[in-house]
Structure 1
Amino acid sequence: MEQIIRSNNIHGYFDGLSDYLTVNETEQGREQQIVLPPLLGMGSISRLKIRQGIEVVITDMTLEEDWNQYIHEDRVFEINYCFSGSVDCYFKGNRSSTQGQSGNMYAIEDSEIHLFKRSKQRYQFLEIRLLPEQVLRYFEYADDHRKVEKWLKSQSGQISPLNNFVTLKRAAYEMVHSTYMGALKRLHMESKIMEIVLLVLEKYMGEQRSTAAYFIKKTDVERLYAAKQIIQDRLENPLTLKQLARATELNELKLKKGFKELFGMTVFEYIRDLRLEKGLFLMQYEQLNIGEAAAAVGYSNPSNFSAAFYKKYGCKPGHYMRSNPV
């Protein structure tokens, strides 16, 4: 299947899909759903208009045939997350691929993007579509307003991958599985959009703060971010501090001092927090018990996991789960 969509505004992408497929509407057109016809596949594409200039598109479908989409975007800033499936993206002669459990962001103005989705794969996808000025509005009275404006301009015309960290995945999951209805759902969705925007801004703002620190060179900043990525990739079996320093070509003192300055916590604290966040995610959304979650994030003794959990969240895992049901 091949589609050509002219998206003249933030809401134009889904409106373009509706030219090809039947749309069901609820809540006075704010929430819409396309159910795929059997010849095309099975599943649905849903759109929730938060307000003018902000929308969320959630896809859960399996295609019967390959799907080529040629989308001319007038002006959009998008953050997306892929839970399953893979999408090939062609933009300005460059190809990138979004695989399951990853995401990216891009800012496009008067440009065409080509998306290729394969048949026989289950696609579970979240797309947050905003006008750039809507992002700036979140920081209208903040001290970092100019930095955010500069960051948005730096993103124009490029696709940037997002680190697959647990907090991003969790926020995206909560959006896709929101149980709220009506105005409360829109409020919940926008609160999660703000959370995700802050998460993707974290690296940029960290770099801005770190370059002002006299003892961290630009090359060392890059190595410290590499160290952070290695920690994320090896969460269940982390490197020792000495191994991590060697892998990033930093000495141990620079690694320890720089990591603390750049990210506001020690290497050990960062590993611990990531493990606990992932353990909580596994218990809440994957229905693992405490022992299974502890083992999955690298704790050989569930008691050690529970003790660390208590220190971070102020209660034992079982109590937290009973007090905060999903």
Structure 2
Amino acid sequence: MIGTEEEGEQQIILPPLLGMGSISRMKIRQGFEVVISDMTLKEDWNQYIHENRVFEINYCFSGDVDCIFKGNRYSTQVQSGNIYSMEDSEIHLFKRAKQRHQFLEIRFSPEQVLHYFENAEDYRSVEKWLKSQRGQISPLKNSVTLKRAVNEMLQSSYLGALKRLHLECKIMEIVLLVLEKYTCEHRSNVASYIKKPDVERLYATKQIIQDRLEDPLSLKELARATELNEFKLKKGFKALFGMTVFEYIRDQRLEKGLFLMQYEQLNIGEAAAAVGYSNPSNFSAAFYKKYGCKPGRYVRSNPG
């Protein structure tokens, strides 16, 4: 493999014998790197990796990857990912030939993850969660916000130190999404009166909303689906997530609409319809209120 290095980023070009594409590695700081691979293999690729001590968040943009760990098989599908924490462990990866494999890996030492929570009241709960993850592979919970963050990392146009800063900002966003449940649930000053089963139901409510943005359930239907009464749903959701159910639905619809315009090249009318707005003007008005400018102008200034 041919390697080049520029502005702190190492790029390895796949030799024609194996296929085509490259693997790019950027060290953010000691014990913390980002790896982006984009390659098409001529033959199936079996890869054995020994992990000494690492916490990883990965995301698959294209291509199927099978992972065998401790006798169990895990499959990563397109537009999904995993998190894992390994210590002195071997992983077997299998990538199929003639597929475009586009993959993002965020690799930390566990101490580097905890660094983000130093002097915070969430430190102990994050530390406890990291210990519970050792030797496990867990699916990464998908959301519109997560998809935007990983796509912005993949398509970052910055160079050198600015690129490292941009990637780290996106990584911090992803870490917060991964750990949101474990930080919010344990904060003493946020919704301390909510019982743990109700916290689980409120997170289930949030997931239902994300899954049905184009056809959202009414408050009564959400309450019925998650076995919460409407009062608990309204009060608990606001306390736990800092916004009302209606505000969250609107926010997520706009986020998804922006994602569709930036990365799927949908026009305003198509994006509005895809997230449940029957009138593009209403979508544009809500978009302007959230982002401070019209959708077309925003997308032209921030292309995907």
- TM-score after normalising by structure 1: 0.86
Task: Please tell me whether the aligned partners of residues 211 and 217 of structure 1 are also in contact (alpha carbons under 8 angstroms).
Answer: no
Offset, 1:215: 4.6
Offset, 1:49: 1.7
1:124 to 78, 95, 102: 102
Partner SS state of residue 208, structure 1: coil
1:169 has 2:147 as partner: yes
- Equivalent residue for 1:18? none
Taking structure 1 as reference, are residues 174 and 146 closer, same or farther at Cα in structure 2, changes over 3 Å only? same
Aligned amino acid, residue 124 of structure 1: Q
Residues in 2 aligned to 1:112 and 1:252: alpha-carbon distance in whole angstroms: 48
Structure 2 residue runs without a partner (length 5+):
none
Taking structure 1 as reference, are residues 210 and 124 closer, same or farther at Cα in structure 2, changes over 3 Å only? farther
- Equivalent residue for 2:57? 79
Residues in 2 aligned to 1:323 and 1:176: alpha-carbon distance in whole angstroms: 18
Offset, 1:83: 1.2
1:196 to 149, 162, 174: 174
Aligned amino acid, residue 186 of structure 1: R
Per-residue CA deviation, residues 156-193 of structure 1 (Å, 9 max, x unaligned), is: 22122222111111111111111111222122222222
Partner SS state of residue 105, structure 1: strand
Identity %: 81
Offset, 1:146: 2.8
Per-residue CA deviation, residues 181-220 of structure 1 (Å, 9 max, x unaligned), is: 1222122222222222122121211222389746532222
1:301 has 2:279 as partner: yes
Aligned amino acid, residue 195 of structure 2: K
Residues in 2 aligned to 1:63 and 1:249: alpha-carbon distance in whole angstroms: 49
1:54 has 2:60 as partner: no
Partner SS state of residue 74, structure 1: strand
- Equivalent residue for 2:132? 154
1:103 has 2:81 as partner: yes
Partner SS state of residue 103, structure 1: strand
- Equivalent residue for 1:246? 224
1:226 has 2:204 as partner: yes
Aligned amino acid, residue 11 of structure 2: Q
Residues in 2 aligned to 1:293 and 1:125: alpha-carbon distance in whole angstroms: 26
Taking structure 1 as reference, are residues 218 and 146 closer, same or farther at Cα in structure 2, changes over 3 Å only? closer
**Superposed CA RMSD:** 2.2
Task: Please tell me whether the aligned partners of residues 83 and 102 of structure 1 are also in contact (alpha carbons under 8 angstroms).
Answer: yes
- Equivalent residue for 1:23? 2
Residues in 1 aligned to 2:57 and 2:231: alpha-carbon distance in whole angstroms: 36
> Post-superposition, which runs of at least 4 consecutive aligned residues in structure 1 deviate over 6 A?
none
Say how many residue pairs are matched: 304
Aligned amino acid, residue 175 of structure 1: M
Task: Please tell me whether the aligned partners of residues 58 and 126 of structure 1 are also in contact (alpha carbons under 8 angstroms).
Answer: yes
- Equivalent residue for 1:283? 261
Taking structure 1 as reference, are residues 183 and 213 closer, same or farther at Cα in structure 2, changes over 3 Å only? closer
Q: Which moved more, 1:36-45 or 1:185-194?
A: 36-45
Residues in 2 aligned to 1:91 and 1:211: alpha-carbon distance in whole angstroms: 39
Task: Please tell me whether the aligned partners of residues 80 and 104 of structure 1 are also in contact (alpha carbons under 8 angstroms).
Answer: yes
- Equivalent residue for 2:242? 264
Task: Please tell me whether the aligned partners of residues 210 and 262 of structure 1 are also in contact (alpha carbons under 8 angstroms).
Answer: no
Taking structure 1 as reference, are residues 85 and 237 closer, same or farther at Cα in structure 2, changes over 3 Å only? farther
Offset, 1:325: 4.8
Partner SS state of residue 139, structure 1: coil
1:42 has 2:20 as partner: yes
Residues in 2 aligned to 1:116 and 1:52: alpha-carbon distance in whole angstroms: 29
1:144 has 2:122 as partner: yes
1:274 has 2:252 as partner: yes
Offset, 1:105: 1.0
Partner SS state of residue 59, structure 1: strand
Offset, 1:322: 4.4
Residues in 2 aligned to 1:214 and 1:171: alpha-carbon distance in whole angstroms: 30
Task: Please tell me whether the aligned partners of residues 210 and 261 of structure 1 are also in contact (alpha carbons under 8 angstroms).
Answer: no
- TM-score after normalising by structure 2: 0.91
Aligned amino acid, residue 216 of structure 2: P
Residues in 2 aligned to 1:179 and 1:214: alpha-carbon distance in whole angstroms: 42
Residues in 1 aligned to 2:27 and 2:187: alpha-carbon distance in whole angstroms: 35
Task: Please tell me whether the aligned partners of residues 210 and 216 of structure 1 are also in contact (alpha carbons under 8 angstroms).
Answer: no
Residues in 1 aligned to 2:85 and 2:237: alpha-carbon distance in whole angstroms: 30
Partner SS state of residue 142, structure 1: coil
